Chain A
Amino acid sequence: MKLSVWTYEGPPHVGALRVATAMKGLHYVLHAPQGDTYADLLFTMIERRNHRPPVTYTTFQARDLGSDTANLFRTACQEAHARFQPEAMIVGASCTAELIQDDPGGMAETMGLPIPVIPLELPSYQRKENFGADETFFQIVRALARPVARTGPITCNLIGPTALGFRHRDDITEVTALLSDLGVEVNVTAPYGATPGDLKRLGAAHFNVLMYPETGEAACRWMERELGQPFTRTIPIGVGATRDFAAEVAKLTGHEATLDTSRLRQPWYSASVDSTYLTGKRVFIFGAGTQVAAAARIARDEMGFEVVGMGCYNREMARPIRALARDYGVEALISDDYLDVEARIEELAPELILGTQMERHTAKRLGIPCAVISAPVHVQDFPARYSPQMGIEGANVIFDTWVHPLVMGLEEHLLAMFREDFEFHDAAGASHHGHKATPRPESAGQTTPAFGPSDPEPAPAADGAATWLEEAERELRKVPFFVRGKARRNTETFAAERGLSQISIDTLYEAKSHYAR
């Protein structure tokens, strides 16, 4: 038993729902108690889908448990088939139905429906949403895809995008265009927008583009083995990764890697002088493994940030994220408990968080700027405008998204110059966070510390570390709040390395020069 307040991932059957809802002509009969229909609103409200998810829930109640829930399932299957006339069906159980052991898969097989019926075994008490999506799509592909003749021109399949995915809708458009520039047409995109009939011709493509390992890797591995289709490993998020992706595709096609960079603005925006203020910003990155890995590379190599911590909530990605973290000289946090993540953020005091909606709330509480890079999704993650993460336009979008929460360069400079300004003092927070300016406490500045929310109390440093002398503490307060955490940390590290017991103004400035870049 584990106490959970907020979760990053839903149960595995929600992953199956994401696959079913993304597809057309597929119907999901889910053996589930009354109330599990809440999942519909994820799609109709958060994603603003204009149709009901193609799911029939048996919605059994206590009185059915005494009689015949199995029969209820059979009736639901028959009626769903008669009403929706799907090309194929998937059947399975939610967490409660798993306990009553009606075996929906076995029952559906014996019903003799004239369409493929694919049973799903999703262990609700062990696995989670991403596994559910990955496994469901894999089972559908395994049931339907067969070796077929390859298309004449070189084509690929786009694998992994689902309903309720973080920017999947727009990534499909961007990657399709990118591939077209590389001389590759898309054979099938799946599960997003695909019918069971489309999946039967997956084998016609020359290779697969694995867009999202979280939801498409098992299917890609199976197709590599059974249909002889290699798949791409690079996720084209960021400029460098997009170039690598183009090179990887070119290797598969034997063509030249021609990338149309006429719309690429990110490198110039990053190089232009206003972006100087981004240099060395300390960022903490957390989310689904794929997005975290991509964000780390962009943060360090394309934005000039310092990555001070990273982690992911999906255990399936623990190994690559740990390895990546080692490359970046930080320790990976693999946890699905948002309180662990919050604690790590507090400890690291980053200047920017790249995270999920959970971290957005943590950031709000701690007064740290934050940009969202990954699921779990929120209605805000489905903007009306075109807003991909992948490819050329994705790189542009990411630059804007990450920079937006930060105070702009010139603005930051003015803030630092006039830090005792009545409006822009430490406690006021950034001007664009939508709050009214907070008046500065009367005696702030000289006697009463007015610490920013991310600034710990000036208590004597723990573990026998150096103590701050009052004058040094006062001097530290003159450092702008958004870099004060770093100044404090650097000075303390500097003092600890030298075995100093006290921190004076001199120590502060010696540390500053020591860490100067």
Chain B
Amino acid sequence: MTHQSTLAAPAGCRDAPVLKQRGQHEVFCGLTGIIWLHRKMQDAFFLVVGSRTCAHLLQSAAGVMIFAEPRFGTAILEETDLAGLADAQDELEREVDRLLARRSDIRQLFLVGSCPSEVIKLDLSRAAERLSARHAPKVRVLNYSGSGIETTFTEGEDACLAAMVPALPETRDRQLMLVGALPDVVEDQALDLLEKLGIDRVTVLPARTANNGVAVGPETVFALTQPFLGATHSALERRGARHIPAPFPFGEEGTTRWLSAVAHEFGVDKERFESVTDAPRARARRAVAKATETLNGKSVFLFPDSQLEIPLARFLTRECGMTAVEIGAPYIHKSVVGPDMDLLSQGPTISEGQDVDLQLDRCRAAQPDLTVCGLGLANPLEAEGLATKWAIELVFTPVHFYEQAGDLAGLFSRPLHRRQLLKKSEEIGVPATPGAIPDPAPTSGGRS
């Protein structure tokens, strides 16, 4: 490895003790991944087999961002399905036939398991087989579970991609596979960088459409672009592919180390690597430096959400000058985030899983300058005086690779910057009355 100027010091926190608590988890279930997956795979439809709650979650998580007729829906289980009066397989077949008749553009159909379908042990793999036989070759039907009892938020994408791997055709070609759903603009930038490095046999999982020639085999090496893809990682290894471990491509350093690991695998020489990366590296550093003016010296507390927490903490502490108080992640797969942990200084509490009330106690005690947390906690913490960054935006926004490094830093600096801009309500002559927000106005209040 010749490209990395600073090799990971063994003094990272890969072996630091991990705090594990079990209580209420304030996290999304894996169904939420459908919100971005259905945008990424343009000829795919995600059919959740679940309850009204599943439909309501998807709607609430998506908000009305993507109205129109989306490429996802919920087959809502009813009393008759539960009582066994209706054969769920037949019911599902009927709904799928109707759906495919209406949406002739669909080439891939994912039957997505939910908590209720898992609990009643509805066999979706059998359903997928039957439906595949019925609708092949036009439509391929796969299944995975996005249920909350089995998946946490981004694990839904992992389960989806892992379900696609066994169906990929075999290839013996030497190739690089990028794994993870990225916004198209970011994916194009990554492919462009790799091409300039001379690596041109590159495929992406998931591809934008079904008929794309993505294949896998013993000569395939793969690089993850998202840290939550543990099951996909294993599924690819089972197909003979080999993982290139690397820190994740967040920020200038992360992107360089990620690219460097790939370049090393493909024997790209140092000169070429530098000629390709020097300019974007400098741009990324400049862009991050702007946000760092706000972030430098500030403390950050990350609640578990998307499994991006460890790579992001590495970025925030090493590139933006922040101090991590606690880094919480729903799961920590060291085979995936190990290289990021190696770079992360010891000191912060590393926690896996969650008891949200106890974690809130620790957060309030620490009074961090910035708290990264989910939507259910953000406004309540703001009302208590803590600056927050909603974690879900990190999954929905283009944040990977050089050209987005500044945007990524900006997502964290904006809440702090905003606080500086807004005058305190006392300063503009209004008493701060946090309780007044949801309460009805006093009787005279609204009347002119």
Identify the A interface with B (CB < 8 A).
Answer: 1-7, 9-11, 13-14, 33-42, 44-45, 47-52, 56-62, 64-65, 76, 79, 83, 94-96, 99-100, 124-126, 128, 163, 169-170, 172-174, 176-177, 180, 189, 192-193, 263, 357, 361, 365, 378, 386, 388, 393
Contacts and interface: CB of A to CB of B under 8 A. Distances in A.
- 10 closest pairs, A vs B, by CB? A35-B29, A35-B148, A40-B376, A50-B383, A386-B446, A96-B115, A41-B375, A1-B91, A10-B56, A95-B51
Contacts of A39: 60
B56 A1 contact: no
Interface centre among B29, B147, B438 (most CB of A within 10 A): B438
B149 A52 contact: no
Contact of B76 (A4, A36, A48, A163): A4
A365 B68 contact: yes
Contacts of B57: 35-36, 38
* A2, A60, A388: residue with the most chain B Cβ atoms closer than 10 Å: A2
B187 interface: no
B70 interface: yes
Contact of B64 (A59, A189, A361): A361
Interface residues of B, number: 78
B88 interface: yes
B25 A34 contact: yes
A193 B55 contact: no
Contacts of B166: none
Contact of B55 (A7, A76, A79): A7
Given A34-B25, A45-B375, A172 B51 contact: no
Contacts of B26: 37, 40
Given A11-B52, A44-B375, A62 B118 contact: yes
A96 B446 contact: no
Contacts of A174: 446
B105 interface: no
Nearest to A384: B437
A36 B376 contact: no
B448 interface: yes
Interface string B89-128: 0011011001100000000000000011011100000000
Interface of B: 23-32, 47, 49, 51-53, 55-57, 59-61, 64, 67-70, 72-79, 81-82, 86, 88, 91-92, 94-95, 98-99, 115-116, 118-120, 147-150, 152, 357, 374-380, 382-383, 434-435, 437-448
A2 B116 contact: no
A38 B28 contact: yes
A2 B76 contact: yes
A94 B53 contact: yes
Contacts of A173: 440-443, 445-447
A172 B440 contact: yes
A193 B441 contact: no
A1 B114 CA distance: 14
A35 B115 CA distance: 10
Contacts of B435: 50
A4 B23 contact: no
Given A33-B115, A52-B377, A128 B52 contact: yes
A79 B23 contact: yes
Contacts of A180: 443
Nearest to A385: B446
Nearest to B62: A6
A83 B357 contact: yes
Contacts of A52: 376-377, 380
Nearest to B95: A3
A130 to B, nearest CB: 12
B119 A37 contact: no
A16 to B, nearest CB: 12
A50 B437 contact: yes
B376 A50 contact: no
B115 A393 contact: no
Nearest to B356: A37
A5 B72 CA distance: 7
B149 A10 contact: no
Contacts of B25: 34, 37, 57, 59
Contacts of A76: 24
B67 A361 contact: yes
Contacts of A42: 60
20 contacts: A1-B81, A2-B95, A3-B75, A4-B74, A37-B24, A38-B32, A50-B380, A50-B434, A50-B438, A79-B357, A95-B52, A95-B116, A96-B51, A96-B148, A96-B149, A124-B52, A125-B78, A170-B441, A193-B439, A361-B68
B105 to A, nearest CB: 16
